[in-house]
A = this chain, B = another copy of it.
Amino acid sequence: MEKFRFLTAGESHGKCLTAIIEGLPSGLEIDIDFINSELSRRQQGYGRGERMKIENDTVEITSGVRFGKTLGSPVTLVVKNRDFESWQKIMSVAPEDITDDRAFSTYRPGHADYAGSVKYNQTDLRNVLERSSARKTAVEVAVGAVAKLLLKELGIAGSSQVTQIGSACCPAEFKDEVEVMRGKGDTVGGKFVVTYKNLPVGLGSYVHWDRGIDGKLAQAVMSIPAVKVVEIGTNPLGYQGSNYHDEIFAKDGEITRKTNNAGGVEGGMTNGQDLVVSGVMKPIPTMKAPLKTVDANTKEETEAHFERSDVCAVEACSVVAEARVAWVLADEILLKYGGDSIEELKKNFNN
């Protein structure tokens, strides 16, 4: 992110998650209800555990917005962790509060525990879990909601859908699939698709590898915890040149297409078709039926620590992906059209 810059912070059971966004134009209307509704969407979906019910996230804005509009200065978003009170001592900043309550040392396979504890020289794996947890995606969705408010000003809108859960490819089957897995104490992943409509032609570029919008989208989606596959448009396996590429037609002097296998990206640029980005999420690695693992202290084999109880979080993941795609698009829009105020941006955009 070059113009739509931001940093996020916050542990899973810390006081709050925080994000600072730097680079927004002034004059952008910030609809807090919309941000909260996006936070709420992240908490939906079959297969979520008990914690989601506690959370009911809402955002507080502590800088960069006055009387409902951005000032051009950095915007701070704060999302409280609602169960912080019961974790206050365990997650305390103060050295004197040190405790090994809730410490653990059994590496959870599929998580950051092992590599994270080696990297950051930690023995209490909670010091890894707290930031590597997917909890941090809540404030990422809030950042994405702000990006979506920017895009909305230009008529650009996004959505996302779950297209597969476990072996179920039809939405009517999703609930059953989840319940079967819950019964087994197992977990499932799945596939989702993010779509943005009404994009201008020419976001991204072919002139240098790191300016391709396809690569930026792939980074944004692949770095979501648990995503292992990213696709743009239709997976080309099984196609030939003659039936994969989207032929070009003219209608009233305008370019049209009858297909969109490219997913709206040719040559690393948006081509005016719908942008279509898919991802595959792996099954949640924390299961009631625990995996074999090793204890960090004793180096003896044991079973994995169990903390969360979601069976499936593909829907949440799709909302996070939709938010992250919005980051990329907002950044590309700001790079291409410039503009320090929303009025100037719109003028350049509509030029």
Contacts and interface: CB of A to CB of B under 8 A. Distances in A.
Contacts of A64: 9, 11
A208 B63 contact: no
A83 to B, nearest CB: 15
Interface string A189-226: 11100000000011001111110101111111111110
Given A93-B66, A223-B212, A269-B116, A20 B8 contact: yes
Interface string A265-300: 011111110000000111111010101111000011
B283 A240 contact: yes
A131 B20 contact: no
Interface string A310-351: 000000000000001000000000111111110110011001
A159 B2 CA distance: 31
A206 B12 CA distance: 13
A121 interface: yes
Nearest to A70: B120
Interface residues of A, number: 163
Given A18-B63, A22-B208, A201-B118, A229 B231 contact: yes
A76 interface: yes
Interface in A150-208: 164, 166-167, 181, 184, 186-191, 201-202, 205-208
Q: Most chain-B CB neighbours within 10 Å: which of A76, A269, A343?
A: A76
Contacts of A228: 214, 231-236, 262-263
A54 interface: no
15 contacts: A8-B74, A9-B20, A10-B63, A65-B93, A109-B246, A110-B245, A110-B262, A119-B201, A166-B240, A181-B240, A189-B239, A218-B221, A218-B222, A241-B285, A247-B293
Closest 8 CB pairs of A and B: A112-B267, A68-B95, A215-B223, A338-B338, A119-B202, A187-B241, A218-B222, A9-B74
